[in-house]
Structure formats: structure tokens, C-alpha cells
Amino acid sequence: MVKVNFIFTQHHNSFSVHIPNLEKLSVEQIQDIEQFVKLRKGVFDFETYTFVIQKRLEFHEFVSLINKSDIDAVCNEKIVEYKEQARVSFGQYKGIYYTELPDSYMLWLKTNYHGKDRNLIEEELKKRNM
């Protein structure tokens, strides 16, 4: 029987786990994983072979949970660096991340704003291909 390959990724308030070898697993192994996720009120996405559980959990705690379960698995950690996002420092959207601004407002800023945050606006416009 093939061992389950879990790739654990820590997020700010949750974690996700990708299972790249899901297609090679038996029905019983998949059912065990589904049960593991269900018990923790998580969501399993079969299109991306990933499950998410809305709980802050460290990698070693996840490994401990897997070791206590009936799942025979190899666990690896994927470390994601989160870049601090810039927030709007003016106007009606003050305090909101630039990444969360509506496209219509971004277009307005493009033609009407010439203040100190102009470079942040230009970067966001580039990311959105606008």
C-alpha cells in the first residue's frame, strides 16, 4: 500500500494540506483522510487534492495528530513567506489593503491620485494587468 504524502502549509489562522499522490491511494485511505478532516470541521477539495482546517496548528502538532490516527503518512512542511501588505492611508478606503480595493477605485486612483502612495498603486495596477 502507498503511503499518503501530506504537504502541510501554515497560514495566519489556519492550515492547509496538499496530497499530491491522492490518485494513487486506495479508497480506504481516502475515506480515512476524509474522516480525519470531517472530525476537525475542515473542508476537502478533491479538485486540488487539498484540505483546509480553520484552526491554527503548528507542523509538529499536525504530525502528532496524524501519528495518533490510522493514517500511514509521510508529512512534509511547505514554508510560505508572507509579505506585509500595504494599506491605503487616505480617503474612504483608509486602512484597507490595496489588494482588496475594487477595480473601479483602482482605475480612479490611476488617473486621479498623485500622492506619496503612487508607487504602491502602480504596483497593484501592474499585478491586476490594468
Domains (range + CATH), the chain: 4-78 (3.30.70), 83-130 (no CATH)
Angstrom distance (rounded) from CA 104 to CA 26: 49
Mean pLDDT, the chain cut into blocks of 10 residues (130 residues total):
92 84 96 94 91 87 93 92 79 87 88 90 86
User: What integer pLDDT is reported at residue 83 of this predicted model?
Assistant: 65
Burial of 69-105, coded b for 16+ CB within 10 Å and e otherwise, reads: eebebebeeeeeeeeeeeebeeeebeeeebeebeeeb
User: What integer pLDDT is reported at residue 77 of this predicted model?
Assistant: 95
Q: Rounded to two decimals, what is the model's pTM?
A: 0.63
Percent of the chain with pLDDT over 70: 96
Q: Measure CA 51 to chain center.
A: 10
Q: Measure CA 122 to chain center.
A: 25
Q: Which residue has the cell 494513487?
A: 24
* 40: CB partners within 8 A, 6+ apart: 53, 55
Assess contact for 18 and 89: CB atoms under 8 A: no
